[in-house]
Amino acid sequence: MQPYASRVVQVRPEIERIAPYVPGESLEAFSQRTGIPIERLIKLNSNENPYGPIPPVLAALGQYIHYNNYPDTDSTALRRALATFTGLDERYIVLSHGSNELINLLWHVFLSVGDNIICCPPTFTLYTTVTTLCGAYVIEVPRTESYELDVEAILSALTPETKLIVLCSPNNPTGNLVAQEDILRLLETGRIVVVDEAYVEFSQQPRGVAHLVPEYPNLVVLRSFSKWAGLAGLRIGYGLFPEWIASYLRRAQCPFEVNVAGHIAAIETLAHLDCVWERVQLLIQERERLFQVMASQPYLAPVPSQGNFIMARVCDEEITVEDIRASVEAYGILLRYFQHPYLQNVLRVTVGLPEHTDLLARALAEVRPGRARSGSNGAG
């Protein structure tokens, strides 16, 4: 007999429709699956920064003694530092427990049952997950063969129920920037245009389009400290919003949204930008070398990227993604693989340290047809 509650209380139907977001495999799960010790693994599947937080961040976290107290719910010191960093007044800035939480909050503030958003796959799938949770739906406008936006198709796809147009720039997983002129054209629609700049610091335009926020009442820019600052584990992000949107978000937020450690780490990061930018430049340089390593394999067609990752399509009919996976996993290397219809025969590689690229090059050189079926463990 079923428990009483399960017969009376039912989850929302939207929950039944949600396809769970599948992140890159963790070190712990990979180690358990393969038997390779964690200390021998190289994690290149979640676009994390291999250098980690800068030393002043680690020192400040260790020296702080008031973790028993709640953080400043207004994030006064951090918003002041971000105002200097972004060039925007504090009133445009909203902090959150990672930019993913801002996506969740923004969507719930604006989307009702029956509304829709427009996004341009292949792109970050969390946009779809949160839209479904809101009882809204997604209109997909696929990117061109070169992964650029099809602006005319986006304009044609608009409906009276379209509330948000979501653009990831640089786009995850393709790595290309959205042209500013495309953003300006879409702003003319009057819909809220969300530009997710989680990787913008690695691009040729590291300031992004934040400077446009005060000029447009329908432009939102989302940012993260996870990638460029190496703070993914602390979960801290921020958004730049027109004042009217920022006021609604703050009203809807839970108090003490950002933890104390996140405040400390972000403030120290912004106080030592020279050190952080030096590491970013190292990753940009390594990205170019990684691209050459991947392009040297006749079965891979990598896509030029302005993020801290490179996507590649498998272009040899005799080689499968599973063959590549078998080879790199034998070396303890984790890459990102996809099940999405737009990403068949595709993998994504996070830019790591030079020694990570060296080992990956060895693993890729050993890929051969049928390796996945042979079950060979190779080197390790």
With a CB cutoff of 8 Å and minimum separation 6, the contacts of 199 are 47, 170, 172, 175, 227, 228, 306, 307, 308, 309
Q: How far is CA 200 from CA 45, 56, 123, 229, in A?
A: 19, 23, 15, 12
Non-local (6+) Cβ contacts of 2 within 8 A are: none
Q: Measured between alpha carbons, how far is 51 from 58 in angstroms, rounded to an integer? A: 12
pLDDT mean over 161-172: 98
Residue with tokens 């969300």: 194
pLDDT, residue 373, reads: 63
User: How far apart are the C-alpha atoms of 317 and 369, rounded to whole Å?
Assistant: 9
Residue 25: which pLDDT band, with cuts at 50, 70 and 90? confident
Confidence at residue 374, expressed as pLDDT on a 0 to 100 scale: 59
CB 259 within 8 A of CB 78: no
Terminal CA-to-CA distance of the chain, rounded, Å?
A: 51
pLDDT band, residue 270 (cuts 50/70/90): very high
- From the list 315, 170, 175, 192, the residue with the least C-alpha distance to 245 is 192
Q: Which residues fall within 8 angstroms of residue 160, CB to CB, at 6 or more apart?
A: none
| 299/290 Cα distance (integer angstroms) | 15
The percent helix, strand, coil of the chain (3-state, each to 5) is: 45, 15, 40
Helix (H, G, I), strand (E, B) or coil at 2: coil
Q: Give the other-Cβ count within 10 Å of 378's Cβ.
A: 16
Task: Read off the pLDDT band of 377 (50, 70, 90).
Answer: very low
Is the preceding peptide bond at 122 cis, omega within 30 degrees of 0?
A: yes
Q: Which two tokens stand for residue 160?
A: 């009276």
Cα distance between residue 187 and residue 185, in whole Å = 5
The model's pLDDT over 68-94, given as tens digits with 9 standing for 90+, comes to 999 998 999 999 999 999 999 999 999
Q: What is the distance between the alpha carbons of residues 52 and 293, in angstroms, rounded to a whole number? A: 24
Rounded CA separation 233/26 (Å): 12
Residue 376 confidence (pLDDT) above 90: no
pLDDT tops 70 at residue 31: yes
Q: Residue 341 gets which letter from DSSP?
A: G
Sequence-ordered alpha helix ranges (H) in 113-204: 126-133, 151-157, 180-187
Average pLDDT, the chain: 93
Helix or strand run (H / E) with residue 101: helix 99-110
Q: For residue range 117-149, what is the model confidence (pLDDT) as tens digits?
A: 999 999 999 999 999 999 999 999 999 999 999
- Residue 209 tokens read as 């389009």
Quote the pLDDT of residue 7.
Answer: 62
* Alpha-carbon span 366 to 327, nearest angstrom: 7
Query: d(Cα 94, Cα 75) in Å, to the nearest integer?
Result: 9
User: What digits encode the pLDDT tens for the residues 246-261?
Assistant: 999 999 998 888 999 9
Query: pTM of the prediction?
Result: 0.92
Let me know: does 253 contact 239? Beta carbons within 8 Å: no
